[in-house]
Amino acid sequence: MKYLLFLFLLPFIAVSQESLEEVEQHIGQKNFKSAETTVLLYLEEHPQHLKALELLGDAYGHQEKWDDAIDIYKKLVDANPNVANYHYKYGGVLGMKALQNKFKAIGLIGDIKSSFLKAAELDKNHIDVRWALVELYMQLPGIFGGSKSKSLKYAEELEQLSTVDGYLAKGYIYEYDDAPELAETYYKKAIEEGGSLTCFNKLTEFYENKSQPENAIKNIEEAQKKHQRNALHYQIGKVAAEYNIQLEKGEKCLNTYLSNYSAKDGVPKAWAHYRLAQIYTYKENKAKALEHIDFALSELPKIKPFKTQKEKILQL
């Protein structure tokens, strides 16, 4: 009889598991509304299923439904207070709520901080929550507990877990603290240690933030030698167009980007045409500039910088 009952339940168990896998697949494909709909149906039959609740919280968070996500993660924290990731996610959505509503932010700071600290205490190897603490302590005013020394403490913990993350965290801290030489040093150390696109991008962003476009282009070119990504052609063209430097190189890179474009490159073709329009505006080539800005506007007609650029071109 027990065997027959097991056979009877097996299809139901399989369907239930398949439903959660479908939810994860939707989230992986960024179909967050579909993920929400699917997991809500699952929760009608399994209202206390912790994994399903977590996936619902994730779906809400990705859609910036902060209040809904807060409610779900709070349920998870209350149901199992020894799971670090529940505290981390709860603190994270509280943080996003604080950014959205600055009037309520002060009242949320304590819960954000305690959630992250609890997650770090529960999981000594949790990299993401240590990153969150690095950023939190640097961004908070001193009156609310902001502290460079505490931020550096978690950067040191990160470095013990992942040398690259530790270097990137220190680069972030020193950049935020307006110590550019130290920031540059640590971003370069991260490239030497890991060499990922993320490492190169952090240094590029640093150079752009410090209005050092020549160094930014040089760094992107180094990244291109290592990673051979078409998206990096766009990045070179973008810097050239924004700062009116190395225009020939920028034009060549943008045309290469367009010739080799695929959806995985990330930046829509319209933006490459906009950058080319900027370059041709600097060159006072009105016909070419109009050709590219009109293409950009035909693809993305509501983008304000595109409209502004066309006005500049028409004044040539």
Rg (CA), the chain: 24
**pTM of the predicted model as reported, rounded to 2 decimal places:** 0.86
Q: Which token pair is 156?
A: 């040191």
pLDDT score recorded for residue 99: 84
- Say yes or no: domain 124-228 is CATH 1.10.10.10: no
Q: What is the full per-residue pLDDT of the chain (316 aa) written as tens digits?
A: 444 444 443 333 333 455 888 888 888 888 999 888 888 988 888 889 999 999 999 999 999 999 999 999 999 999 999 999 999 999 999 999 988 877 778 888 999 999 999 999 999 999 999 999 999 999 988 767 889 999 999 999 999 999 999 999 999 999 999 999 999 999 999 999 999 999 999 999 999 999 999 999 999 999 999 999 999 999 999 999 999 999 999 999 999 999 999 999 999 999 999 999 999 999 999 999 999 999 999 999 999 999 999 999 999 9
Domain residues of the chain, as ranges? Answer: 124-228, 232-316
pLDDT score recorded for residue 21: 87
pLDDT score recorded for residue 11: 39
What is the Cα–Cα distance from 179 to 20, expressed in whole angstroms?
Answer: 47
What is the Cα–Cα distance from 184 to 287, expressed in whole angstroms?
Answer: 41
Q: What is the DSSP string of 177-231?
A: TT-HHHHHHHHHHHHHHT--HHHHHHHHHHHHHTT-HHHHHHHHHHHHHHH--HH
CB of 204 within 8 A of CB of 216? yes
Q: Do the domains at 124-228 and 232-316 have one common CATH topology?
A: yes
- CATH number, domain 232-316, options 2.120.10, 2.60.120, 1.25.40, 1.20.140: 1.25.40
